[in-house]
Chains A and B, each alone.
Chain A
């Protein structure tokens, strides 16, 4: 008897330990925001069969769709929830699982996503930046499905700008659906400072340096920078490159048609170096919001940042566009548009592929884009969206987007593989401190050689 009891105790202990272990394993591969699909009840046999076979014409019905993103911040989360409720009103029988993973700019989410994809447990649709992050990452790895049939059936070919479709395509086939557009080449400036000093917002490098000198003479910091995270300085550099090279040559940097040896690249670095002499002393202690705040408070005159800074100005700091702050494209980039686009793709082996396609249809629709973007503070990727839903900044940017040449962002992984971005950030970080043009050129050239084929 005694013996039996002991054995029983031991076996139950073993059982508990192994249960705990399997629980750990489960939570590691899944996301914290929702139960992983393997734990949740399977959809009915017919639904799952139609989903995995993905008969293109079959209307999805029932089951689930798991949406993976890093939209957990204030405006973006509201936008995502708006999209989900729009989707649910169209597909009441499909349960949406919001598998968002928190973390700035998707840092944590991307790590979780990579491990899920490699572990054979992909979500049904996932957020990915258009450009290299999609193409040299997931498409090259053969991990996502082509969406040419979806583009054809929805008639998207002329609803998104061609440059944008190219950004999400490889070998002529689109692989993701763009939801929003952010512009990366904007100078936001403090209107009061400019008006008080009788200055005009600069549109060329010459004007920029003239304005900057005038401001400096008055004791005002001309350019706010917060490069505690180096990508903000990389953004300034990519804007200078775009301004000096022009959109066409800038794009050639990422296809190996133009080398970083080019004299114009060197000229860009010299210009960048000169611009750095006009920045605030404590730039290394600030992040991008802190830098934008300098402009908002009138402690600095200009800030080069993507237009999420506009969302920060209007939503968080309650500033008024065109009254408290103004904006112009960064010097010499008026006809160009540094584009950062959030898109969604469907992994190969997604459990609910048909449902995921329904989700993408909602994302790509006028209705979906106009629900999401006013909340997130971005502009729609479609050219026929409802302009009246956007503020004065959004409206002017929507106009620019229709005609401008699109250029992919280096700092946000659209232009080149993430490995390049990491190395470029390293080179820029060193350059901001030591200003050694030749060393920076060498580092960028090495990054180009090792990452861009």
Chain B
């Protein structure tokens, strides 16, 4: 089935935030209700491990299980609503030129790399280490006392993790490419926590982590 692709009318020159997050770096920012966040895959097949927290109450956060059950769908794409642990809509995917994003595969960690690849991989760079680094240094996290307890299953934007009808989990070749993007409209004030996946063990990005670009637009004046 052809993915449901929707392009965005938003002009990068009108963005109120336009930043590049390097390969392997964390990124954290607050996106206000009505604002739109674009995550742009600059060089293709990057995995953007992302968590969302309510800016008002960080105990309310993105919930993979609520998002899967309430959309009755395993993959995210245009029209998907991202639900919080309180069953409320946090963000809506309003544009998507990739077609499918993963919410089952989670983030790599030093410890899970020892089981998935080899015991001696523990010292390698990983996403959960990046999340924890951001939680120690970014004002959005330190002001809310976010820590390891707040690391729940995340979204992997641009990752393709198909499940077969028999229930096998596969790590398929990426369906992203340079310039593909996903756009999310915040339905509440949200804190965004990204680890731009530094994975050097997984062939999903040809062992070549690459940078991403992040843009935010204000709500259009006409609304």
Do A and B belong to a common assembly?
no
